[in-house]
Amino acid sequence: MEFYLSSYKIGGEKEVQQLKDLIPPNKKTAYISNALDFSDDAERRKQSEQSDTDQLVAVGLDVETLDLRDYFDQPEKLEKDIKKYGVIWVRGGNVFVLRQAMKLSGFDKVLKKLAKGDNDVLYGGYSAGVCVLAPTLKGFEIIDDITKHPYPQQPDLIWEGLNLIDYSIVPHYQSSHPETELANKVVEQYEKDGIPFRALKDGEVIIIRSDF
């Protein structure tokens, strides 16, 4: 499994070319937007998801929505269905909400299996979709509302990340994004606490060719 981890959307022009180079032969893409499940603004969400989809289609991907809510308490079904995708793209939103959805659907365990296996799969995403890969979500309460619990099955906050990378990623650092000032505070907090991290400005990406 390889990783294309962006601060915002699909990244800058140079980075997008790198994304194109990483696309596996199977271009079927699972687009996961559950980080937005806390929102009650359906029209705004629809427009944002369409913007993402348009960008992914433009780089040559065959995109379809994969809603983790359809798999709550059905991890076996998710593990079966996920095998048809060559790309998994997880967008931004609230990282704590995303983590809840990943646990309830079993996506967290499925992704770890994929990461350890011998397969030609690309995991991509931005903002919350990359923050969730870290060992811990601590620090992101500065940016995201930890009181959001859209799923009654998961009332408890989850602080543990997926631990697929050994550092935290702070998106929107020193950028023009509305969350930039808060992202800068997260960086300050990580520096104070000695938490390993990498800060990304919007347009920047981290590419990992993984041998888990």
pLDDT of residue 211: 52
Q: Quote the pLDDT of residue 118.
A: 77
pTM for the model stands at: 0.95
Q: Which CATH number fits domain 2-209: 3.40.50.1110, 3.40.50.880, 3.40.50.300, 3.40.50.1100?
A: 3.40.50.880
Domain boundaries, the chain: 2-209
How far apart (Å, rounded) are the C-alpha atoms in residues 39 and 24? 33
Tens place of pLDDT per residue across the chain (212 aa): 999 999 999 999 999 999 999 999 999 999 999 999 999 999 999 999 999 999 999 999 999 999 999 999 999 999 999 999 999 999 999 999 999 999 999 999 999 999 987 789 999 999 999 999 999 999 999 999 999 999 999 999 999 999 999 999 999 999 999 999 999 999 999 999 999 999 999 999 999 986 54
Q: Residue 212: what pLDDT?
A: 43
What's the CA gap between 18 and 21, in Å, rounded? Answer: 5
Measured between alpha carbons, how far is 164 from 144 in angstroms, rounded to an integer?
21
Report the distance separating Cα 96 and Cα 116, nearest Å: 24
Residue 103: alpha-carbon gap to chain centroid: 14
Count of C-beta atoms within a 10 Å radius of residue 88: 22
Neighbouring-strand partners of residue 62: 28
Q: What is the pLDDT of residue 57?
A: 98
User: Dihedrals φ, ψ of 134, to 5°?
Assistant: -75, 170
